Every structure is written in structure tokens, then in C-alpha cells.
């Protein structure tokens, strides 16, 4: 069993508890050897990553998502990966819904990282974006390692086809891993309101885990495509899917519709904290207060007007409130080999994501070859 100390940004109370535990263990070791107890200065930052010998031998998988750490898609996926018993599973995911945060990072602000109980996995929730989560996890500041074998982002509630990939937090999590040179997969379920149900996530997990197993196997053998991440889109009816189809990113995007409202938060959203709103401007004091409430077990989502706007007292100032909604539109005219068309036809769409447009044809071929070899072996 090893404990390592590295740079880290941890909640003060958790950091204090860890320091006390380390000091108690050091004092006990010194008492046993009859050596006088020496004073130990408190380290500025604490990194605790404890693995037993058996866990060290297993491939590490990092799981994140866009919907938040309490979402059903992530919960079922982590449970399944732990049940496989083949991997050491780590989770670093947003504290709340950040599904439309795109490739945003929290720059110049302190984020709060809190450990949570997740059976069989080492899990942290982060008061930031999916990209924050992956970047932090791979930095070596939170964990003693920096390179898991695979990063899995998902399972997200709602598809991220076409240009919607640019808005998608779950895709951004996989893309950030690709930027850092770590193989990655993002997974989304084409959730339809009034049609889908939570058990569909279990069926989606049944599709996802064999792909993850195949990815880990082929990464170990050096044959997993290295220049791309995979965006896996699972159709609305996972249990009746027609199979896998390697697709191209379409030009489809949802319509962005801004609605004028009489107040910043409609009444019908007051008891639905995860319904797509994003807290864009939180002052440092507000962030600290929110973190304190969470750490004492009282989780609340509070919408706060920016400090800059609140300080203005001009009586002639015109102030309006708007809310953004994503409106689905018809998929007419999309290519047969596109991601959205595959989902419409009840296929699992596998779309390679590249960081360079100049290698797209290469990664398309590599993706198709890998999927075909995976299906043959399974």
C-alpha cells in the first residue's frame, strides 16, 4: 500500500483529515521503533491515491461525463465496470449537470473537489466542467498517476450528433483526453422524452462494456487507433439496435432558441436543478458558500446574478432576461452514412473524432477496421 504526496487542490476539511491520518500513522511508527517524535510541518497540498497490490496490476480506467456524477448513465456504467473485476476504476465527474458546457475550462477560479462514496471505485466530484475533470485527473495533481489506459466519458442522456458535438460536455471530456494523448471514448444515449426510461441506460451499458473491454485489450496490444477518439451514439431503443455503423459527423445541429422571460428562472424549473441551465458567472464568495453547503451535506443549486450587474444602480438601465433552449429540427437531407441518420435507423453510431481535419479519411478507415475486428472477436 502506498501513499503519495503531490500538488493538489482539496477541500480544507478533507485535507485536514488526511493530514491528521498521516501524522497519526507516522507517530505510531516512531513509537514502535522507540524513536522520539519529531515535528512535521503540514504539507501545502495532499495527493492520496491508495492501491493494493492486486489493483496495481489491473488497467486503470477513468470515467467522467457531462450530466453530473449522480446521473443514472454514469452510475450504471461504473457499477458494470467494477463488476467486471478487470479494472481499477476511477471517477472524476462534474458535481452538477454540465452537459452543454462544450470544451470550457474554469480558468482563474478555484474549483472544489470532493471525494464521494462509489462502491468499488475511487470517485471525486468537481465543481467544474467535464474538461476540468479530465484535465485535473490527468495532471497528477489529484491522483498519483497521470495516464490511465482509457478515459470513458458517459453515458450521457441525449445524443450529441453533428455540430452538437461542439456544445457537448461528454464529447469534450473524451476530446480532452485525446489532446493529452490518452485513448478515449464518449458514449451517449439518444434519450427521447416520453419514450425513454431509466432502464434503457442498463441496456446501453450492455452495449458499451464489450466495446470498452475490446478497447482495453487492443490498447494493450498496440492496435487501437491512436489519432482519434470515438463518439458512440446509442439509439433510443438500445435492446433492439440493428448493430454498429461507423459514421461521419453530420452538419446537423439543434436550433438555438432564446426565449424572453419575466424572471431569470421560470417557476416550473424551481424543483428541477438539472434541467439544462448553466450557472455562467459565480462570484468567488458564492462558489465558496456553495461548496460549504455541499460539504455539510446540504446540496442546493443557487442561481446568482453576476456581481458586476448587481452593483449597477442606474435607474434608466434596461434589464432583460432570456433563457436558451435547444429545439430539435427535422433530419431531412442528411447523408446516409452520417451519425444522425444511423441513430434514426436504430444503429449504434460510431463516429471517430480527430484533432486534425487532414487525417479524417485515415481515421475513418482505422475506425471501421477496428469496429469490424472487434465484432468478429466478440
DSSP label of 82: H
Q: Which residues, listed in sequence order, are joined to residue 115 by a DSSP beta bridge?
A: 124
| SS3 assignment, position 269 | helix
CA distance 294 to 298: 5
DSSP characters over 303-351 = ----HHHHH---TT----EEEEEEE----TT--TTBHHHHHHTT-EEEE
Per-residue pLDDT, 312: 54
Query: What pLDDT, on the 0 to 100 scale, is given for residue 107?
Result: 87
Cα gap 100→227, rounded to integer Å: 25
| Kind of pairing between the strands at 244-246 and 255-261 | unpaired
What number of helices (H) and strands (E) belong to the chain? Answer: 10, 11
341-352: b (≥16 Cβ within 10 Å) or e: bbbbebbbbbbb
Concatenate the DSSP letters of all residues of 284-298 into one string. Answer: HHHHHHHHHHHHTT-
- pLDDT of res. 256: 73
- Size of the chain in residues: 378
Q: What is the DSSP letter of 262?
A: S
Contact assessment for residue 189 and residue 73, using Cβ atoms and an 8 Å cutoff = yes
pLDDT in the model for residue 284: 37
> Which of the 8 DSSP states describes residue 198?
T
Note the pLDDT of residue 335: 76
Asked if residue 156 lies in contact with residue 168, where contact means CB atoms within 8 angstroms, the answer is yes
3-state secondary structure 98-157: CCCCCCCCCCCCCCCEEEECCCCEEEEEECCCHHHHHHHHHHCCCCCCCCCCEEEEEEEE
Residue 41: closest CA among 61, 60, 22: 22
How high is the pLDDT of residue 16? 54
With CA atoms as reference, report the closest residue to 226 among 234, 218, 236, 214.
218
Please tell me whether the peptide bond between 241 and the residue prior to it is cis, using omega within 30 degrees of 0.
no
| pLDDT in the model for residue 142 | 95
Mean pLDDT for back-to-back runs of 10 residues, the chain (378 residues): 41 52 56 44 48 74 96 97 97 91 88 95 96 96 92 93 86 95 96 92 96 95 91 95 90 74 55 36 38 41 37 74 72 73 92 78 83 80
Amino acid at each position: 500500500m502506498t501513499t503519495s504526496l503531490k500538488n493538489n487542490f482539496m477541500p480544507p476539511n478533507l485535507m485536514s483529515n488526511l493530514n491528521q491520518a498521516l501524522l497519526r500513522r507516522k507517530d505510531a511508527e516512531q513509537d514502535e521503533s522507540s524513536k522520539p517524535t519529531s515535528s512535521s510541518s503540514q504539507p501545502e497540498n495532499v495527493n492520496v491515491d491508495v492501491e493494493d497490490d492486486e489493483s496495481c496490476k489491473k488497467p486503470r480506467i477513468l470515467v467522467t461525463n457531462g450530466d453530473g456524477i449522480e446521473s443514472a448513465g454514469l452510475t450504471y456504467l461504473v457499477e458494470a465496470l467494477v463488476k467486471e473485476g478487470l479494472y481499477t476504476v476511477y471517477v472524476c465527474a462534474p458535481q452538477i449537470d454540465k452537459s452543454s458546457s462544450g470544451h470550457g475550462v474554469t480558468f482563474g477560479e478555484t474549483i472544489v473537489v470532493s471525494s464521494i462514496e462509489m462502491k468499488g471505485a475511487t470517485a471525486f466530484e468537481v465543481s467544474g466542467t467535464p474538461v476540468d475533470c479530465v484535465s485535473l485527473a490527468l495532471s497528477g495533481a489529484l491522483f498519483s498517476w497521470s495516464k490511465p489506459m482509457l478515459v470513458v466519458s458517459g453515458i450521457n442522456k441525449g445524443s450529441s450528433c453533428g455540430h452538437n458535438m461542439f456544445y457537448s460536455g461528454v464529447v469534450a471530456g473524451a476530446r480532452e483526453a485525446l489532446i493529452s494523448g490518452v485513448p478515449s471514448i464518449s458514449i451517449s444515449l439518444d434519450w427521447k422524452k416520453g419514450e425513454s426510461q431509466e432502464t434503457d441506460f442498463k441496456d446501453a451499458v450492455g452495449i458499451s462494456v464489450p466495446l470498452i473491454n475490446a478497447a482495453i485489450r487492443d490498447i494493450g496490444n498496440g492496435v487501437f487507433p491512436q489519432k482519434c477518439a470515438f463518439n458512440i451514439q446509442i439509439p433510443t431503443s438500445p435492446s433492439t439496435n440493428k448493430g454498429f455503423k461507423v459514421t461521419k459527423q453530420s452538419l446537423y445541429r439543434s436550433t438555438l432558441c432564446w426565449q424572453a422571460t419575466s424572471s431569470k428562472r421560470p417557476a416550473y424549473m424551481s424543483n428541477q436543478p438539472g434541467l439544462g441551465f448553466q450557472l455562467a458567472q459565480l462570484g468567488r464568495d458564492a462558489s465558496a458558500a456553495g461548496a460549504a453547503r455541499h460539504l455539510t451535506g446540504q446540496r442546493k443549486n443557487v442561481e446568482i446574478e453576476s456581481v458586476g450587474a448587481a452593483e449597477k444602480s442606474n435607474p434608466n438601465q434596461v434589464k432583460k432576461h432570456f433563457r436558451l433552449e435547444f429545439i430539435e429540427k427535422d433530419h431531412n437531407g442528411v447523408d446516409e452514412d452520417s451519425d444522425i441518420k444511423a441513430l434514426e435507423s436504430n444503429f449504434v453510431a460510431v463516429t471517430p473524432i480527430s484533432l486534425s481535419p487532414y487525417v479524417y479519411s485515415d481515421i475513418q478507415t482505422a475506425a471501421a477496421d477496428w469496429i469490424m475486428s472487434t465484432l468478429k472477436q466478440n
